[in-house]
Amino acid sequence: MPASRRVRPKPQANVARIPEIVARLDDAYGVPAWRPHHDAISELVLTILSQNTADANSGRAFVRLLEAFPSWEAVASAPLDELVAAIQPGGLAPTKAPRIQAALRDIKARTGGYDLQFLADLPLEAARQWLRSLHGVGPKTVACVLLFALGRPAMPVDTHVFRVATRLALIPQRAGRARMTAEKAHELLESLVAASDFYAFHIGLIKHGRRICIAQRPRCPECVLRDLCPSAVLYHPELASGGRRRQAAPGSKRTQK
Ligand code: SF4
How many Å lie between the centroid of ligand 1 and the Cα of residue 74?
A: 46
pLDDT at 60: 94
Domain that holds residue 115: 40-149
Pocket of ligand 1 (CB under 6 A): 164, 167-168, 212-213, 218-220, 223, 225-226, 229, 231-232, 235
Element (H, E) at 131: helix 124-132
CA of 168 from ligand 1 middle (Å) equals: 7
- Asked whether residue 244 is assigned to any structural domain, the reply reads no
Q: How far apart are CA 179 and CA 215, in angstroms?
A: 18
Q: Using CA positions, which residue lies closest to atom 2 of ligand 1?
A: 220
- Please list the ranges in the chain whose pLDDT falls under 50: 1-7, 242-246, 253-257
Atom of ligand 1 nearest to the CA of 249: 3
Q: Is residue 200 a contact partner of residue 31, using CB atoms and an 8 Å limit?
A: yes
Nearest to 161 by CA among 195, 217, 200, 216: 200
**Residue 216 DSSP one-character state:** S
Residues of the chain with pLDDT > 70, as a percent, come to: 88
State the pLDDT at residue 255: 43
CA angle 70, 74, 79 (to 5 degrees): 125
The residue out of 99, 131, 149 marking a domain boundary is 149
Q: How far is the CA of 124 from the centre of ligand 1 (A)?
A: 33
Are 145 and 163 members of one domain?
Answer: no
In a domain, 245, yes or no: no
Residues 99 and 183 in one domain: no
Let me know whether 28 and 45 are in one domain.
no
8-state DSSP, 145: I
User: Which of ligand 1's atoms lies nearest the C-alpha of 232?
Assistant: 1
Secondary structure E strands in the chain? 174-175, 178-179
Boundary residue ending a domain (124, 149, 174): 149
Q: Which ligand 1 atom sits nearest the alpha carbon of residue 222? A: 7
Rounded distance, CA 78 to CA 140, Å? 26
Q: How many A from CA of 206 to the centre of ligand 1? A: 13
- Rounded to the nearest angstrom, the distance between the alpha carbon of 208 and the centre of ligand 1 is 9
Nearest residue CA, atom 1 of ligand 1? 226
pLDDT of residue 78: 97
Q: How many other β-carbons are positioned within 10 Å of the β-carbon of residue 222?
A: 9
- Give a yes or no: residue 56 inside a domain: yes
The number of distinct structural domains making up the chain is 2
pLDDT for res 256: 39
Identify the active-site residue in 96, 140, 184, 207: 140
Q: Supply the pTM of this predicted model.
A: 0.85
| From 162, 229, 236, mutation site for ligand 1 pocket: most ligand atoms within 8 A of C-beta | 229
Q: Which CATH number is 16's domain given?
A: 1.10.1670.10
Q: Is residue 248 part of a domain?
A: no
Q: Which residues pair with 174 in a beta bridge?
A: 179
Question: Does the annotation mark 140 as catalytic?
Answer: yes
Pairing state between β 174-175 and 178-179: antiparallel
pLDDT at 32: 92
Q: For 74-99, what is each residue's pLDDT tens digit?
A: 999 999 999 999 999 888 999 999 99
